[in-house]
Amino acid sequence: SQTIHQWPATLVQPVGSPLSLECTVEGTSNPNLYWYRQAAGRGLQLLFYSVGIGQISSEVPQNLSASRPQDRQFILSSKKLLLSDSGFYLCALGGGAGANVLTFGAGSRLTVL
Amino acid sequence: AQSVSQHNHHVILSEAASLELGCNYSYGGTVNLFWYVQYPGQHLQLLLKYFSGDPLVKGIKGFEAEFIKSKFSFNLRKPSVQWSDTAEYFCAVRASGGSYIPTFGRGTSLIVHP
C-alpha cells in the first residue's frame, strides 16, 4: 500500500532562517506529488505539485520553493522564513494517470517566531 | 479554473442529529468530486468520491453525498451523527481530464456533543 513519510513533524524556526521539509513515499512509482498548506479557516492551499523528477509547478507566488530530486522524494524549502509561513504543511500523492484520489501524509507543523 | 465553496465553517450538533454540509463548485465541464475528512490527530483521508454514474454516492461510516449537476452541488449527509464524527470535512473538485490537481474548499469543522 502507498505510504507517505513527512519530517519533521514539528518545527519552530526564527524569522529569516532557512527551511527544509521532506516528504518520501513508498509503495508506488512515478506518483504525482503535492505540497499543501493548511491554515485555520482557510482550508487547503496548493503550493506546489510535481509530475516527475525535476518537474515542479508552483501555484502560489511566495518565498517557498520545492524540489524533486528523486522519484519518491519531494522537498519544500525556503531560504528565509517569514512569519506568514507558519502553518501545517501536508504532502500528498496521487497515483498518476487516471488516479484521482490523494493520499496525505501526517503533516509538518511549522511555527515561525 | 475550478473553485469550491463550503458554506458552513463551523457546525455543532448533538448525537443522533442529522447532518448536511453544503458544497458548491464552479466549473463548466465534467468534474470529479470528493469529500475528505480529518479526524483529530489523524491524517486527512478520503470519505467518498464521485466520478460518474449514480449521483448518490455512499462512503465510509454511513456518510453519503449527492451530486446535483444543475446546482453545481455535492452536499454531504448523514442521517444520525455520532460523537466520533467530530472532525474537519473538506470538499474537493477536480476537472475531469485536466491536470491532476484537486481544488479544496475551506473546510467545515463539525463538533458532535455526546
State residue A28's pLDDT score: 87
Kindly state the average pLDDT of the residues B56-66: 95
pLDDT digits 0-9 by tens, A12-22? 999 999 999 99
Best residue in A45, A100, A103 to probe B by mutation, most B CBs within 10 Å?
Answer: A100
Closest CA to A43 of B3, B90, B36: B90
Q: What residues of chain B lie within 8 A of the CB of A34, using their CB?
A: 101
* Pairwise CB contact (< 8 Å): A43 & B51: no
Q: Quote the cell numbers at residue B94.
A: 477536480
Best residue in B101, B108, B109 to probe A by mutation, most A CBs within 10 Å?
Answer: B101
Residue B15 vs residue B95, higher pLDDT: B15
* Pairwise CB contact (< 8 Å): B102 & A36: no
Contacts of A40 (CB under 8 A, 6+ apart): none
Q: What residues of chain B lie within 8 A of the CB of A44, using their CB?
A: 90, 104, 107
For A77, other C-beta atoms within 10 Å of its C-beta total 14
* Residue A30: pLDDT band with limits 50, 70, 90: confident
Contact (Cβ atoms closer than 8 angstroms) between residue A106 and residue A44: no
State residue B89's pLDDT score: 96
Report the DSSP beta bridge partners of residue A20.
A77
> Is residue A99 scored above 60 in pLDDT?
no
State residue B76's pLDDT score: 98
User: Quick one: CA dihedral A82, A108, A46, A33, positive or negative?
Assistant: positive
pLDDT digits 0-9 by tens, A49-73? 998 999 998 888 678 999 999 999 9
* Residue B101: pLDDT band with limits 50, 70, 90: confident
Kindly state the average pLDDT of the residues B89-112: 87
Contacts of B19 (CB under 8 A, 6+ apart): B11, B13, B76, B77, B78, B81, B85, B110
State residue A39's pLDDT score: 81
Kindly state the average pLDDT of the residues A65-86: 95
Q: How many Å apart are CA B59 and CA B75, to the nearest integer?
A: 13
C-alpha count within 13 angstroms, C-beta hemisphere, residue B99: 14
Q: How many Å apart are CA B37 and CA B71, to the nearest integer?
A: 23
Closest CB to B43 among A41, A99, A105? A105
